[in-house]
Amino acid sequence: MHGYIDYKANLNNSLATKVPAHYTSKSCPKCGHTSDTNRPNKGLLFRCECCSHELHADLIGARNIAMRALLVRQDWMSTGSLSASLRCIGP
């Protein structure tokens, strides 16, 4: 699947980037606090124990993944290459 996505991105002169999904639904996009207790009862509600930001956990995860992808893109656009820490993303 990753090869297909890379292939399609290259056809469109685009960049396909794999970003880590670790803790994306447990990290607050407002204050950055990461904790298991941000997901009460491991449910679908996200409530930050630091800043009280509240939203559906899947939306929190999607926003955090989008922000990570934007950081990779910003790194790529400003330097013309991926930094060493970003090259090693994923298993």
Interval 73-90: pLDDT, tens: 888 778 877 665 544 444
Helix (H) or strand (E) holding 84: helix 84-87
Q: What are the pLDDT digits (tens) for 18-43?
A: 888 899 999 999 999 999 999 999 89
Residue 13: exposure state from Cβ atoms within 10 A (0-12, 13-18, ≥19): exposed
The fraction of the chain above a pLDDT of 90, given in percent, is 47
Q: How does residue 6 score in pLDDT terms, banded at 50, 70 and 90?
A: confident
pLDDT of residue 89: 42
CA distance 83 to 56: 32
